[in-house]
């Protein structure tokens, strides 16, 4: 029975009892009972009503306590969510055919252990892998995140485990249900590593009307293949991202990232130093987003040093449930070579509801410095967020 | 042609009526909470940028269901976003594991009750639900 119904019932019963007492009281003049007896009975009834009220209050308190316990238990329960995306790709690249791709099925397992500690993990199934006997396996199963956070205060918190490198914007904000394109800008994950196996300290400071977010981290450094078991060398990688948020237009983010790994196993044990800057401006229906990053790779004496460069500028305009936009994207994987790539993209998103989006995107890849042929391709996709 | 004009008038009438009849929304805190919050501070709180009160206590954050009309008014006026976009931002923070202060989603009448009960709570509700309640304090009115 709900508290409201219980209260209503009790009020009705109390009113009935009091009304009966009053009726008895009114008829007292006609009855043979003395006024004193009636007075006594009325007092007894009042005591009973008071007792019942006390009981009711206790029961309401108990129910409220139960609700709070249930709410806490739900808050601290293991939660499962995820996302999924299915694509159809049309391409004019030689040797490639058009077709469907079961791109991602990713599952998140999270748990708020207590008020200060939370656990987060992500397991990604890419290209719907099938493992059976000694068959050759396509696709991958990948533990992309597994970490604990100790939430101390707004200014300082600690994370330990595997997490996406806090670098620029797209490195973390990359999930298909919440970005405009299935294809990420070309330099993402190639200058700063995709993941960190390590620890980070992060927080936010209030600066009058602005805010400063920081994230400083260290870890094993990038390795090839990615190794969650141990470090490939004794040197550790360090990084820092700072991000200012100003109340300009609707929101302006300006930030920078630095990263250093003296023995980068994923890049021939180079001494790698990477720097990046990023900006994001939202004004009404228009959002501009840009990132630039550069990595300086210094090798032992017998190898040639080189740099990696990349940047992009993306504009997106929102009209009701539609998002229209374009991106100019540049990536040079090796400054000493001629493999510069310029990608121009156009995209349309239609958001069916808060969890489901349809996307159409066109990309043109141009390799200006080589004889490599330009490539055009279209990706049509349906992307769903599987959480609440 | 006349039919088309009628349909357009009807459609625009419905559109404008939705906006013009939307009730004012108020941002509320517990009556014992003496802190003042500007609209930009409320925006930072509902953007998950700021998540503690000045005394360092964690803000207990309440949201309305995404289909509640008061949520649309709130997100449009404070965040300059639709309710669906704002909900998408919370989901994005969840999957990127950057969420700092997960809000509790409750119906408007419950939000009033919870805010009345907790000194660290903040929520927003239709103005009529906050009127005459001495256990809560209105810190911002969004007409």
Task: Indicate the pLDDT class of residue B17, thresholds 50, 70 and 90.
Answer: very low
Mean pLDDT in residue range A265-290: 93
Q: Which residues make Cβ contacts (< 8 Å) with residue A371, sequence separation at least 6?
A: none
How do beta strands A356-366 and A157-164 pair? unpaired
**Confidence class of residue A234 from pLDDT cuts 50, 70 and 90?**
confident
With CA atoms as reference, the chain A residue closest to B44 would be: A211
Measured between CA atoms, how close is B139 to chain A, in angstroms? 18
**In which residue are the tokens 């099925």 written?**
A105
**Segment B2-15, tens digit of pLDDT:** 555 555 444 444 44
Distances (CA, A) of A33 to A29, A45, A163, A378: 8, 17, 84, 96
Residue A209 sits at the chain B interface (C-beta within 8 Å):
yes
Best to test chain A binding among B97, B118, B120 (most A CBs inside 10 Å): B97
Smallest CA–CA separation between B77 and chain A, in Å? 11
**Which is more confidently placed, A14 or B100?**
B100
Closest-CA distance, A127 to chain B, in angstroms, reads 20
Distance, CA of A122 to CA of A141 (rounded, Å): 11
Q: Given an 8 Å threshold on Cβ–Cβ distance, is A177 in contact with B44?
A: no
Contact across the interface for B97 and A81, Cβ inside 8 Å: no
Alpha helices in chain A (DSSP H): 3-26, 35-75
What pLDDT is attached to residue B2?
55
Token code pair at residue B73 = 């008014």
Mean pLDDT of the region A45-62 = 93
The percentage of residues in chain A with a pLDDT greater than 70, rounded to a whole number, is: 91
Which stretch of DSSP H or E encloses residue A123?
strand A117-126
DSSP string, A193-206: -SEEEEEEEEEEEE
With 90 as the cut, is the pLDDT of residue A125 above it?
A: yes
Closest chain A CA to residue B51: A154
**pLDDT category, B43, cuts 50, 70, 90?**
very high
């Amino acid at each position: 029975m709900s508290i409201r119904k219980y209260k209503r019932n009790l009020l009705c019963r109390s009113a009935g009892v009091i009304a009966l007492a009053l009726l008895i009281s009114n008829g007292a003049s006609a009855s043979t009972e003395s006024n004193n007896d009636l007075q006594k009975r009325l007092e007894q009834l009042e005591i009973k009503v008071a007792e019942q009220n006390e009981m009711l209050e206790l029961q309401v308190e108990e129910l409220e306590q139960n609700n709070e316990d249930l709410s806490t238990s739900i808050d601290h329960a293991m939660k499962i969510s995820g996302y999924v995306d299915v694509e159809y790709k049309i391409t004019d690249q030689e040797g490639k055919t058009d077709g469907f791709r079961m791109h991602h099925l990713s599952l998140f397992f999270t748990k708020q252990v207590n008020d200060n500690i939370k656990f987060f993990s992500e397991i990604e199934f890419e290209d719907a892998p099938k493992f059976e006997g000694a068959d050759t396996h396509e696709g991958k199963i990948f533990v992309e995140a597994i970490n604990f956070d100790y939430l101390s205060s707004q200014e300082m918190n600690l994370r330990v485990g595997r997490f996406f490198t806090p670098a620029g914007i797209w490195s973390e904000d990359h999930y298909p249900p919440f970005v405009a394109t299935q294809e990420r800008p070309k330099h993402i994950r190639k200058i700063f590593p995709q993941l960190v196996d390590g620890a980070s300290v992060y927080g936010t400071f209030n600066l009058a009307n602005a805010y400063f977010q920081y994230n400083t981290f260290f870890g094993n450094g990038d390795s090839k293949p990615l190794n969650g078991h141990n470090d490939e060398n004794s040197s550790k990688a360090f990084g820092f991202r700072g991000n200012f948020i100003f109340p300009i237009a609707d929101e302006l983010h300006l930030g920078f990232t630095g990263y250093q790994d003296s023995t980068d196993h994923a890049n021939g044990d180079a001494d790698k130093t990477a720097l990046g800057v990023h900006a994001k401006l939202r004004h009404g229906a228009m959002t501009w987003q840009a990132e630039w990053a550069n990595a300086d790779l210094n090798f032992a004496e017998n190898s040639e040093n080189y740099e990696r460069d990349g940047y992009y500028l993306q504009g997106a305009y929102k009209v009701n449930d539609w998002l229209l936009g374009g991106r100019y994207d540049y990536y040079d994987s090796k400054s000493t070579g001629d493999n510069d790539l310029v990608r121009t993209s156009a995209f349309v998103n239609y958001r069916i509801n808060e969890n489901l989006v349809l996307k159409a995107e066109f990309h043109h890849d141009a390799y200006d410095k080589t004889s490599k042929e330009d490539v055009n391709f279209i990706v049509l996709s349906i992307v769903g967020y599987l959480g609440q | 042609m006349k039919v088309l004009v009628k349909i357009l008038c009807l459609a625009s009438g419905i559109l404008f009526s939705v906006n013009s009849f939307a009730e004012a929304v108020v941002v509320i805190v517990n009556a014992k909470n003496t802190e003042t919050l500007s609209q930009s501070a409320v925006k930072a709180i509902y953007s998950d940028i700021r998540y503690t009160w000045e005394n360092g206590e964690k803000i207990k954050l309440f949201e309305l269901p995404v289909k509640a009309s008061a949520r649309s008014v709130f997100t449009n006026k404070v965040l300059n976003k639709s309710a669906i976009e704002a909900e998408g931002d919370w989901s994005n923070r969840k999957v990127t594991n950057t969420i700092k202060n997960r809000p509790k989603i409750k119906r408007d009448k419950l939000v009033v009750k919870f805010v009345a009960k907790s000194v660290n709570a903040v929520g927003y509700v239709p103005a009529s639900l906050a009127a005459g309640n001495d256990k809560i304090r209105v810190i911002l009115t969004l007409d």
